[in-house]
Structure 1
């Protein structure tokens, strides 16, 4: 399944428009490469492959920049979001900044998976991520307002703030709803 994206760019007095297929799979990404070469406004192949495709029931994750500290790159493992099991959701992965080799990973939360649901369950994503002032931990906020602290030495995960629970666990979520 591929989506269509339009990219507009103003060149002198003319406006140009580039159309490309935004793929949902790495195999479809090959379609975009020639179009991206002609328009810098279009996303790169790496951007497309590394971010799961958006659908009305499963919005794409916000773009949260990885953190590099002490030769280690920390980032959300978005590939695990698509798994239909307990491995889904909330993974922080640490990689060697020089070679990209995974050093460790820790799960902050799980995304329940409802195999009987025609649309599945909505994924949760990291919304913000930053080093603490003492640079000993990473503070991560997810898209429903839960804040976690990950100790970089012990990899211990601490719940720092939980959103107030209301009738809906996704109350306050500002993502558009589709029928």
Structure 2
């Protein structure tokens, strides 16, 4: 009897992000519904002491492309923390957001800038070729003289 290997998962499971508490209210990431919400990740819910959902909001948009596999398009929270009465969220793409639980207002901060390229190409192992600032500026031409010369 031969053993057929099971197919590998299409993506890693979403990061496990613990709930946070502010003034006795628990805040947690919750999955959305593709049919009802148009996306799966990007939702935050508030729960009272009896674990009843008080409210739920979409923190960021993540529209789906119908031509691509669904689970690889999902973008989940990478972190959730409370600071100064606000909820600070970072998603898997590096987008950082702040949620005011009192007003449910979401404000965004830009994603971090990517790290500069390493001096060594990771594929070839060879040093990267760098262009000078003059080469990046493009070709320069000599000024055109308006004087004519006759001999």
2:56 — aligned with what? 105
Query: What are the ranges of 5 or more consecutive residues in structure 2 without an aligned counterpart?
Result: 1-7, 115-151
Structure 1 runs (4+) deviating above 4 angstroms are: none
CA distance in 2, matches of 1:83, 1:58: 18
Name the one with the larger helix percent.
Answer: 1
2:90 maps to 1:144: no
2:22 — aligned with what? 69
The higher-RCO structure (CA 8 Å, 6+ apart) is 2
TM-aligned CA deviation for residue 83 of structure 1: 2.0
* 2:45–2:55 Cα contact (<8 Å) kept: yes
2:9 — aligned with what? 56
Structure 1 counterpart SS, 2:57: strand
Per-residue CA distance 1:81-101 (angstroms, 9 max, x = gap) = x525524321010011x2111
TM-score by length of 1: 0.53
TM-score by length of 2: 0.61
Name the one with the larger strand percent.
Answer: 1
Query: What are the ranges of 5 or more consecutive residues in structure 1 without an aligned counterpart?
Result: 1-54, 166-179
CA distance in 2, matches of 1:126, 1:100: 21
Structure 1 or 2, whichever has the larger Rg, is 2
Aligned length: 105
1:129 — aligned with what? 80
What CA RMSD, in Å, does the superposition of the two structures yield over aligned residues? 2.0
